[in-house]
A and B are shown apart, each in its own frame.
Chain A
């Protein structure tokens, strides 16, 4: 607080004769500090400085928590709605698809397949198209191989055009022809637009000199060709670090010229054109009958017949917006259809069952922890210190043992040829042919998890019970209470905060458990966390995992809120 002292006394010795004015001011306005500024302000500034210092002291921890905990959780949660991969991978297709009627009975035509070809060609050069396939495959099986397979055929589709063009005029084979024909002025906007699309596609920066600027004249006359060549130029110059003017273009550029020549306007424009390479272009336009006549749709369907299926296009269209509720719908056994939201087929409904099971079993586990933990905690709190310490070590011992070891130990105990069954058979309680099934079902999960989570119940209970003076019980009894009344009316109410704290700990921990259920739970004892783990590490459907995780988080927060309303969170004590 040295600053405060400085501010009020140290700074600026009051000048003689100054006194009068100051007193006068004090009477009329705010209290002044020695330096003539309002005391309130000075104090606030000093306090602020103190606060900043405190903040700086905790900054390392704060930054650590934010960077390693909060940011990853938020970004994981954001994945549950994120879906921009469709738009980023095939931007122009998605745009064209907006005009298509999902409710209709016909898959889209070339107005969608033409942009699809160029989008996919670009994506397959950047090796992004299979990611999109995997994404869409979560919604409809088969789309993964459709994208992967067609990705391999894209070159061949373009080559069919290329071969014909090169036969018409060998100039088409030369890098110079394309570069000179399409270069020009005024195309900076187009160049920037294509560059931005690449950045969205790859997620990387595409800075640097391309060595090519499309000409506006060509962009009007040969729109597809100019776009395709610009894409080629950006990729060649920036990713492959080659000189654009020296490279023969992609197959897609030939396909683009073929597509342009299908438009009568373009053919007319070429006839009127008299710039460089006009003879070559005119030759191509005249011989355009020799070019492949198949529509792009026919070429795609020839590559994979699913491109012609209505269902595939409906899926693509439904999942084309950059934000989707699809993952959340999936995690509550619903699905998106063209007619709105519908229930998933019964054979695929699983998540609601698992959520329900997780909650119910967590409650059972919490309950059995209370039943087993309460007497133990009572003993610990009431035995002489030396005995209590030995017991305490027994409670803590499992805490120091690896979770996997404890769970595996339960396996040895619980299995049908295990120790418990052997003893029961030996004692004659159980028939050898009908040994108890204690594992690979819900029973196994409850037994093993109760044991593992028991210390989390005992410790808060113990610390609360320790603070209940034994004289209360004696007083109750001396006033005529029976043992039970004394316990129930006097002792128990004082231990409730311990039960509350223990229950919250056990319940929240058990809701997120997955290793123990995985090992001893079989099929009927697994939790929702097992599915989350599966989607994170096996199926790689992180969006669905994030949605399931978000729902779990919301459920826990809601339960916590209910608990606070009913019991009151102030009634929870973790320590004396």
Chain B
């Protein structure tokens, strides 16, 4: 068997995965950590349920702790008792977990399935593997939604990121996330900084002040959110005219709940979400997780997830297989952030930059908010 021969030459880590493939000692209980809501449901439908059908002896417990996964993993590690088997985190958190030695390094080609045409996993995922510990799952974007019925008459609907600042043409409040990430970049873009210079400018004290000054122009019109569900709610209540949030949240407000909201894709910021395996799992649990990962991150499964939520699959080979919404039967492709019509002007989250400057800029941002 080809698999067996590769195993002989592989590292300790993949030996464990190989053990999994050959069904030796595998734990039957798994605890997955995710974000709750529609997103977790999509993972349950696309990954966990089919896997449980293949392995009826396996049971899965879900824990909705992804937004504080880094802190909790750190605490678990200090207590010496890792209770999670697989954790869904954003890429920036995966990098931090990897830096702190809390997540296991993964040999993507050994652990993950090849694409149907034989492309190795690392090529199929490509640049999206931003950390050695990170197994990308979806591409999502942080972008704006607006109330279609609150656009003043005779005015074109907002289609430019700088319309967020244009409170004369588009009166009404805005909702922005209560943290500097994304907001600072948008502010600089609308203050005339070229797209490829944004992070150079933002690395300087003057640039940071410039971004805050630009945000200051609309400070009185902003409601700051801290949970992804806030903006759809504020839009639905008519509290704000436009607001930023994750595109999947807006999708469900627009398509599934039929609210008078539309997307404004301009300058959407791409980010990644995916799995990490906590470091230090016992062998039998690790074996089971690796077996699950091999299944749950293959081309078909990633494409399946897109039938439940409008996030783009992270494998290049999955993109052509994205089909229709599982319940509504509408075509999902036009709702994907990666769809060419939506991705005319996009922005890529700079992980390295924010890993370095997050604390510093956040202190300034919060001090500015408190003024």
Instruction: Say yes or no for A46: interface residue by CB 8 A criterion.
Output: no
Residues 234-266 of chain B, each 1 if its beta carbon lies under 8 Å from chain A, else 0: 000111000000000000000000000000000
Instruction: Say yes or no for A295: interface residue by CB 8 A criterion.
Output: no
Cβ contact within 8 Å between B71 and A540 = yes
Cβ contact within 8 Å between A536 and B71 = yes
Cβ contact within 8 Å between B364 and A347 = yes
Residues of A within 8 A of B237 (CB): 415, 417-418
Residues 343-360 of chain A, each 1 if its beta carbon lies under 8 Å from chain B, else 0: 000011110011000000
Residues 357-371 of chain B, each 1 if its beta carbon lies under 8 Å from chain A, else 0: 111111110111110
- Min distance, Cβ A401 to any Cβ of chain B, angstroms: 20
Q: Do A354 and B370 contact each other (CB < 8 Å), given the known contacts A141-B356, A145-B356, A415-B237?
A: yes
Residues of A within 8 A of B363 (CB): 348, 350
Instruction: Say yes or no for B101: interface residue by CB 8 A criterion.
Output: yes
Cβ contact within 8 Å between A138 and B355 = no
- Min distance, Cβ B165 to any Cβ of chain A, angstroms: 18
Assuming A347-B368, A523-B178, A537-B67, what are 5 further A-B pairs, CB within 8 angstroms? A131-B101, A138-B359, A524-B370, A537-B70, A538-B68
Cβ contact within 8 Å between A523 and B224 = yes
Residues of A within 8 A of B352 (CB): 145
Cβ contact within 8 Å between B370 and A144 = no
Bound together, the chains give a CA A418 to CA B233 distance in angstroms of 12
Bound together, the chains give a CA A144 to CA B359 distance in angstroms of 11
Cβ contact within 8 Å between A537 and B223 = no
Interface residue range, chain A: 35 or more
Instruction: Say yes or no for A82: interface residue by CB 8 A criterion.
Output: no
Instruction: Say yes or no for B210: interface residue by CB 8 A criterion.
Output: no
Residues 58-94 of chain B, each 1 if its beta carbon lies under 8 Å from chain A, else 0: 0000000001101100100000000000000000000
Q: Do A523 and B369 contact each other (CB < 8 Å), given the known contacts A134-B100, A536-B71?
A: yes
Instruction: Say yes or no for A541: interface residue by CB 8 A criterion.
Output: yes
Residues of B within 8 A of A353 (CB): 370
Residues of B within 8 A of A541 (CB): 359
Instruction: Say yes or no for A142: interface residue by CB 8 A criterion.
Output: yes
Cβ contact within 8 Å between B359 and A137 = yes
> CB < 8 Å: which of B98, B239, B355 contacts A145?
B355
Q: Do A148 and B370 contact each other (CB < 8 Å), given the known contacts A415-B239, A416-B239?
A: no
Instruction: Say yes or no for B209: interface residue by CB 8 A criterion.
Output: yes
Instruction: Say yes or no for A259: interface residue by CB 8 A criterion.
Output: no
- Min distance, Cβ B95 to any Cβ of chain A, angstroms: 9
Instruction: Say yes or no for B29: interface residue by CB 8 A criterion.
Output: no
Cβ contact within 8 Å between A518 and B226 = yes
Cβ contact within 8 Å between A137 and B356 = yes
Cβ contact within 8 Å between A141 and B99 = no
Cβ contact within 8 Å between A539 and B366 = no
Cβ contact within 8 Å between B239 and A417 = yes
Q: Do A539 and B226 contact each other (CB < 8 Å), given the known contacts A134-B96, A141-B357, A349-B367?
A: no
> CB < 8 Å: which of B98, B178, B239, B359 contacts A539?
B359
Residues of A within 8 A of B74 (CB): 540
- Min distance, Cβ A144 to any Cβ of chain B, angstroms: 5
Between-chain CB contacts (< 8 Å), 13 pairs:
A128-B101, A130-B101, A131-B100, A134-B96, A141-B360, A347-B367, A350-B363, A350-B367, A354-B370, A415-B239, A523-B370, A537-B70, A541-B359
Tell me the B208-233 residues at the A interface (CB within 8 Å): 209, 223-224, 226
Cβ contact within 8 Å between A522 and B364 = no
Bound together, the chains give a CA A385 to CA B68 distance in angstroms of 48
- Min distance, Cβ B69 to any Cβ of chain A, angstroms: 9
Tell me the A96-147 residues at the B interface (CB within 8 Å): 127-128, 130-131, 133-134, 137-138, 141-145
Seen from chain B, the residues whose Cβ lies within 8 Å of a Cβ on chain A are 67-68, 70-71, 74, 96, 98-101, 178, 209, 223-224, 226, 237-239, 352, 355-364, 366-370
Bound together, the chains give a CA A179 to CA B356 distance in angstroms of 41
Bound together, the chains give a CA A440 to CA B74 distance in angstroms of 32
Instruction: Say yes or no for A195: interface residue by CB 8 A criterion.
Output: no
Bound together, the chains give a CA A452 to CA B71 distance in angstroms of 28
Residues of A within 8 A of B360 (CB): 141
Bound together, the chains give a CA A440 to CA B355 distance in angstroms of 29
- Min distance, Cβ A71 to any Cβ of chain B, angstroms: 12
Instruction: Say yes or no for A314: interface residue by CB 8 A criterion.
Output: no
Bound together, the chains give a CA A430 to CA B362 distance in angstroms of 38
Cβ contact within 8 Å between A142 and B99 = no
Residues of B within 8 A of A297 (CB): none
Residues of A within 8 A of B355 (CB): 144-145, 148
Instruction: Say yes or no for A531: interface residue by CB 8 A criterion.
Output: yes
Look across to chain A and name the residue whose beta carbon is closest to the beta carbon of B212.
A347
> CB < 8 Å: which of A531, A537, A540 contacts B96?
A540
Bound together, the chains give a CA A59 to CA B178 distance in angstroms of 47
Bound together, the chains give a CA A536 to CA B75 distance in angstroms of 10
- Min distance, Cβ A151 to any Cβ of chain B, angstroms: 10
Report, nearest first, the 4 A-B pairs whose CB atoms are least far apart. Answer: A130-B99, A141-B360, A350-B367, A537-B68
Residues of A within 8 A of B359 (CB): 137-138, 141, 539, 541
Residues of B within 8 A of A145 (CB): 352, 355-356
Residues of B within 8 A of A537 (CB): 67-68, 70-71
Look across to chain A and name the residue whose beta carbon is closest to the beta carbon of B234.
A415
Look across to chain B and name the residue whose beta carbon is closest to the beta carbon of A411.
B233
Look across to chain A and name the residue whose beta carbon is closest to the beta carbon of B100.
A131
Residues of A within 8 A of B99 (CB): 130-131, 133-134, 144, 148
Look across to chain A and name the residue whose beta carbon is closest to the beta carbon of B368.
A347
Residues of B within 8 A of A348 (CB): 363-364, 367
- Min distance, Cβ B185 to any Cβ of chain A, angstroms: 16
- Min distance, Cβ A120 to any Cβ of chain B, angstroms: 14
Residues of A within 8 A of B368 (CB): 347
> CB < 8 Å: which of B70, B98, B209 contacts A540?
B70
Cβ contact within 8 Å between B71 and A522 = no
- Min distance, Cβ A510 to any Cβ of chain B, angstroms: 19
- Min distance, Cβ B258 to any Cβ of chain A, angstroms: 19
- Min distance, Cβ A157 to any Cβ of chain B, angstroms: 20
Cβ contact within 8 Å between A350 and B366 = yes
- Min distance, Cβ A27 to any Cβ of chain B, angstroms: 65
Residues of A within 8 A of B361 (CB): 141
Residues of A within 8 A of B68 (CB): 537-538
> CB < 8 Å: which of B67, B70, B223, B356 contacts A144?
B356
Residues of B within 8 A of A127 (CB): 101
> CB < 8 Å: which of A354, A518, A539 contacts B358?
A539
- Min distance, Cβ B74 to any Cβ of chain A, angstroms: 7
Bound together, the chains give a CA A524 to CA B220 distance in angstroms of 12
- Min distance, Cβ A127 to any Cβ of chain B, angstroms: 4
- Min distance, Cβ A523 to any Cβ of chain B, angstroms: 4
> CB < 8 Å: which of A137, A440, A518, A526 contacts B223?
A440
Look across to chain B and name the residue whose beta carbon is closest to the beta carbon of A348.
B363
> CB < 8 Å: which of B71, B209, B223 contacts A347?
B209
Residues of B within 8 A of A518 (CB): 226
Bound together, the chains give a CA A405 to CA B98 distance in angstroms of 37
- Min distance, Cβ A134 to any Cβ of chain B, angstroms: 6
Residues of B within 8 A of A526 (CB): 370
Residues of A within 8 A of B364 (CB): 347-348
Residues of A within 8 A of B356 (CB): 137, 141-145
- Min distance, Cβ A227 to any Cβ of chain B, angstroms: 24
Residues 539-557 of chain A, each 1 if its beta carbon lies under 8 Å from chain B, else 0: 1110000000000000000
Residues 398-421 of chain A, each 1 if its beta carbon lies under 8 Å from chain B, else 0: 000000000000000001111000
Residues of B within 8 A of A523 (CB): 178, 224, 369-370
Bound together, the chains give a CA A166 to CA B4 distance in angstroms of 35
Bound together, the chains give a CA A440 to CA B71 distance in angstroms of 27
Look across to chain A and name the residue whose beta carbon is closest to the beta carbon of B355.
A144
| Max count, chain A CB within 10 A of own CB: residue among B67, B362, B363 | B363
Look across to chain B and name the residue whose beta carbon is closest to the beta carbon of A353.
B370
Look across to chain A and name the residue whose beta carbon is closest to the beta carbon of B101.
A127
Bound together, the chains give a CA A348 to CA B364 distance in angstroms of 5
Bound together, the chains give a CA A526 to CA B364 distance in angstroms of 16
- Min distance, Cβ B227 to any Cβ of chain A, angstroms: 9
Residues of B within 8 A of A354 (CB): 370
Bound together, the chains give a CA A257 to CA B158 distance in angstroms of 65
